[in-house]
Amino acid sequence: MMKKALVVEGGAMRGIFASGVLDSFLQHEYNPFDFVMGVSAGASNLVGYLANQPERSFNVITELATSRQFFNPLRFMKGGDLVDVKWLIEESNRQYPIDEDKVFNHIPFFAVATNVGTGRADYYRITAENYTKALEATSALPIAYKHTPCFSGECYTDGGVADSIPVIEAYRRGARDITVILSHPLSYVMLPPKTTWLTRKLFARHPHIARSMLLRARNYNKSLDFIRHFPEDAVIRVIAPPENFAVKRLTMKKNMLVEGYEMGLNSGERHLSHRFITFKN
């Protein structure tokens, strides 16, 4: 039997789509996976899924992530955080507590963070002991979040910088039946930054992160190419937002978020009805 993995992309508020897909999985008690991997908002969405708490992620995104405590442009202009990642994690845990045994002691749960010292992706298993720091690390948006989460002797920034869609890592870990939930429509291709000098200037203190930012589009599109042309011994199933998915990274309009969530629910239903998309070599 092929080892099965679930990979969930991040994308900040775009994660509302994945929250809908995962809630549709919960409605059908669908969890055939041997391990799961998430990046940033994708990892946060997986908490609600593994905890078997429908609408937890929906509530976190639409109620907490749209609040001024989390997203505050005025605070950012005064030198603070544009997004307060630590507050969001702690408030989510306070308002929507999880059953730690369900989340951490059943199937392995991995998250991706970008190592500040190397600029490369680190893939770590989330446990009850590192849970809060690990989620902060994978979600620590560069520039927008001023803090640098550190644990286990390393410091990190957002996992999407080095590996937004860890499908190749899932394959490397032995998965041969991989379900990928994306945050962009299938037509999306990431373009390289136009102002490379600005990227180098913004991350002058962390040259390895600057390099990863400059290579991010190449690495992202490499993951998409792997999905489209996966090895012969594997199958990759893709669940992606429709072309009219309008949610952006920092969309705060609740009606748009609700619409994006419903798109996720519908896409999850189609997937479970075996009308999913599988790229073929």
Q: Which positions are catalytic?
A: 40, 158
Token pair of 270 as six digits: 């189609």
Instruction: Please list the helix, strand and coil fractions of the chain in percent, rounded to the nearest 5, in that order.
Output: 45, 15, 40
Residues with Cβ within 8 Å of residue 14, at least 6 apart in sequence: 41, 183, 184, 241, 245, 247, 248, 249, 251, 260
Query: 124: helix, coil or strand?
Result: strand
* CB-CB contact of 278 with 264 (8 Å): no
| Residue 163 dihedral angles phi and psi, to the nearest 5° | -155, 90
CA triple 19-144-43, angle to 5 deg: 25
